[in-house]
Structure 1
């Protein structure tokens, strides 16, 4: 399917697909373990405690863009084009992320000390979950491997340490530990992932001490990423604000039902992320060769992502009740309707990945900010009005509408992005185009 749509011919692109295989293998492995352990945790804690746990994790996740600083795609692009300066690029970005991570965690510590969270328990869970941001600085190593399209070792090491972190969660389940321990286990997973990245890099380069800091490189990275940090923050905000608002406007049980549905719905979001990251160098390569080839590859990637997301959403819509009962049990039956609605947001998440890569390749960071902010604002407004009336179902409806705005409809409003609007529109008629052929 992928080979037919992407039209693989060159050895370079086959290398990208090999890299994609290892990324997909790791993500699928993590997905299966996460589904199994996550369901076990949900069954063990019950809807109320599970909702409280997800409130803390959602809050902590919103902090991630403040540490990543919009550098993920920018770093891959910079390392791809300037591999000889990798020590300076990696060192500078690592220093920046380390300072940001420590600052963000210190801020959460201050918030907790002064009781700025709705309840003390929620604040404690947020604090434990936000420990994860301290270890995000090591993700610069992952960008280096992505730029080289060599993720095999990273995938293996991360998989090993992920098994360890999952084993700790299972141990907590067997010992019927309180919800706070699972928040700590969430952060521990990021700590172990950082160790895996360090080991992977040391195996290739031998030392991290060759990294160098450069003020000029820092300014260059900030100039290219400052808009992306705002757009990334807006993106995470409209991904997680529904759970945060549900936690404040409804009961913990309602949030537990919604969180269970969202976990299954979002479990597939790794697919466009992995494919997009792995094939991004191929897109950049096509752009350097010719505009026609570049545009064709964008269209093919869009077609692939739409087909995958549509059939996934269609199948889950008619099987949601079955999967909720099998995975979570009768206690979570209210989650089924939410899942049937929320799963369709994935179509726009898949397309958004294509758009994000195109925006980076075209240096149109301003639109990334504009679209993400519009999505965040629309999601907050829609949730504000729909949650009090429909609860979790209203949050799911708000999610679909806001995702469609930020990833599709807003593209038609600007001349610079209208071409992507029609590319996505063509993808939505992909079955018709294939039938004509």
Structure 2
């Protein structure tokens, strides 16, 4: 008869409970974060469809360009402090100083962006209306980056509360925008409601956070050195984020300058679908990032890397093949998706969507790669890969857009993404391990079949 020593069994039981709790918390966190993104993309997508069917193609192009430039500022303001902020919250017992430090760094960053945006539009805007609309949309970035406590919830594996708050705000403002259009409002009123929505959502998250913090202070004035130190640590990711957005949006900007609002409208329809493909894996990986960090920490304590590498490989496998499934569906159904959603006048956008769908698997793997970079602390790798993609995107756009128009921009965007996500990892010895894991992901179905066959052979 076997006996169990309670003194040794108790730590094992506690460890198992902790592991189960982390696994369940990471899954729940990922589900809620993804649900929030799904709902947000649903509201944005439905509004885009309504606007495309309500406005002229040229007006829809101007609106899409304004929203894209605002999205560029938001992405830059948030880029450097996602995974890094979650890590800082996980290590700190005083969330108040972390929260205020994040807000200060973010607001300063978007203030610089806003000034640059005004200068850029002053030299490239084709009309005063376009300039004012983009400037107005740019104000929204100051509200969006106030929601720093959302990352505290992510670190606590409790993404449900901010997700519910943001979904409620997005639903309410979607109804208001539809009502405004019904009453005859134009693009300016819709952009004003967009600005109000982002400020309202961030304030809702701040109020929830203030109520839910029980350990330490909710808000505390940070020391100047803490803000500077956080900015220095986030700077590589900030520079990387700028490059990533150049990579993602250079095509749209070049199309606006060389082709005009009609070309922007066609490209924006395709890009709206691609934004959905990019946002979902990023949301899920951000939410599950604490569990990945925990696996790495436990492996380091035991002197190994098996659990961390296994979780990372599983993430690459899932991301790649989910991306392949979506890419195939988009490629085959692009005409139906575009014409059904936006109308026959946007049928030319289907060709752009087919081209850009090739990049979807790499977009999905990019969400895993970005978290590996943060977990390993190799932040300058992120800078290198995104700037490679940015330079490639701009160069290819300048080469292809004059001859091929928006089609050339679609090819430039796709090629730059493949280069910055996958091919780049083969250029440095420090990234070879993750290049191997991404390459192994292409063989995931074969590996799975061989593993199942092997396990069946050893069964008695």
Normalised-by-shorter TM-score class: over 0.9
**TM-score, normalisation: structure 2:** 0.88
In the alignment, structure 2 segments of 5+ residues that lack a partner are 1-17, 300-304, 452-460
Match in the other structure for 1:171: 179
Q: Distance in 1 between the 2:184 and 2:353 partners? A: 28
- Conserved? CA contact 1:317–1:339, under 8 Å: yes
1:296 aligns to 2:310 (yes or no)? yes
Match in the other structure for 2:243: 234
Match in the other structure for 2:416: 402
Match in the other structure for 2:143: 135
Match in the other structure for 1:21: 31
- Conserved? CA contact 2:41–2:276, under 8 Å: yes
* Bigger mean CA deviation after superposition, 59-68 or 427-436: 59-68
Q: Distance in 2 between the 1:282 and 1:80 partners? A: 11
Q: Distance in 2 between the 1:164 and 1:280 partners? A: 30
Q: Distance in 1 between the 2:378 and 2:410 partners? A: 30
Residues 148 and 27 (structure 1), Cα distance of their counterparts in 2 relative to 1, 3 Å cut:
same
Match in the other structure for 1:256: 265
Q: Distance in 2 between the 1:208 and 1:196 partners? A: 18
Match in the other structure for 1:77: 87
Deviation at 1:270, TM superposition (A): 2.2
Q: 1:190-209 to 2 correspondence within 5 Å?
A: 190-205=198-213
Deviation at 1:337, TM superposition (A): 1.0
1:277 aligns to 2:286 (yes or no)? yes
Partner SS, residue 255 of structure 1: helix
Match in the other structure for 1:355: 369
Q: Distance in 1 between the 2:263 and 2:116 partners? A: 29
**TM-score, normalisation: structure 1:** 0.93
The alignment's C-alpha RMSD in Å is: 2.1
- Conserved? CA contact 1:52–1:247, under 8 Å: no
1:95 aligns to 2:109 (yes or no)? no
Match in the other structure for 1:376: 390
* Bigger mean CA deviation after superposition, 196-205 or 42-51: 196-205
1:343 aligns to 2:352 (yes or no)? no
Partner SS, residue 176 of structure 1: coil
* 370, 380, 383: which one aligns with 1:366: 380
* 411, 416, 425: which one aligns with 2:430: 416
Q: Which one has a bigger Cα radius of gyration?
A: 2
Residues 66 and 9 (structure 1), Cα distance of their counterparts in 2 relative to 1, 3 Å cut:
closer
- Conserved? CA contact 1:101–1:135, under 8 Å: no
Residues 277 and 209 (structure 1), Cα distance of their counterparts in 2 relative to 1, 3 Å cut:
closer
Residues 32 and 253 (structure 1), Cα distance of their counterparts in 2 relative to 1, 3 Å cut:
same
Match in the other structure for 1:56: 66
Q: Distance in 1 between the 2:113 and 2:195 partners? A: 14
1:325 aligns to 2:333 (yes or no)? no
Deviation at 1:402, TM superposition (A): 0.3
Match in the other structure for 1:5: none
1:291-328 per-position Cα deviation (integer Å, ceiling 9, x unaligned): 11111111100000001100000011111111112111
Deviation at 1:116, TM superposition (A): 5.7
